[in-house]
Amino acid sequence: MASLMNNGRPLTPDVVIDETWFSNPAFCEETKQWYPLSKTLAEEAAWNFADENGIDLTILHPGFVIGPLLQPTLNLTSEDILNFIKEGREIFPNGIYRYVDVRDVAQAHILLINCSKIKRCGVWNEREKKWIRSKIWSHRQNAVQPHGFLQGIKSPV
Can you give the residue ranges of every domain in the chain? 2-53, 64-138
Tell me the C-alpha to C-alpha distance, in Å, between residue 67 and each of 34, 88, 99, 122, 144: 25, 21, 10, 26, 12
Question: CB under 8 Å to 91, separation ≥6 — which residues?
Answer: 80, 81, 83, 84, 97
Predicted pLDDT of residue 8? 78
Instruction: Kindly report, residue by residue over 81-99, the tens digit of the pLDDT.
Output: 888 888 887 776 656 667 8
32: left (phi over 0), alpha (psi -120 to 50) or beta: left
Predicted pLDDT of residue 132? 56
Q: How far apart, in whole angstroms, are the C-alpha atoms of residue 42 and residue 4?
A: 12
pTM of the model: 0.58
Q: Which of the residues 32, 39, 86, 119 is marked catalytic?
A: 39
First-residue to last-residue Cα distance in the chain: 27
Instruction: Kindly report, residue by residue over 33-59, the tens digit of the pLDDT.
Output: 888 888 888 888 888 898 899 887 777
Predicted pLDDT of residue 156? 38
Per residue, the 3-state secondary structure of 46-115, as one string, reads: HHHHHHHHCCCCCCCCCCEEECCCCCCECCHHHHHHHHHHHHCCCCCCCCCCCEEEHHHHHHHHHHHHHC
- For residue 39, indicate whether it is catalytic: yes
Instruction: Kindly report, residue by residue over 5-21, the tens digit of the pLDDT.
Output: 777 777 777 777 776 77
Q: Which residue would you say has higher pLDDT here, 155 or 37? A: 37
pLDDT band at 30; cut points 50, 70, 90? very high
Predicted pLDDT of residue 130? 56
Instruction: Kindly report, residue by residue over 113-146, the tens digit of the pLDDT.
Output: 776 555 544 445 445 555 555 655 555 555 544 4
Instruction: Characterize the bridge pairing of strands 99-101 and 64-66.
Output: parallel
Chain centre distance of CA 119: 21
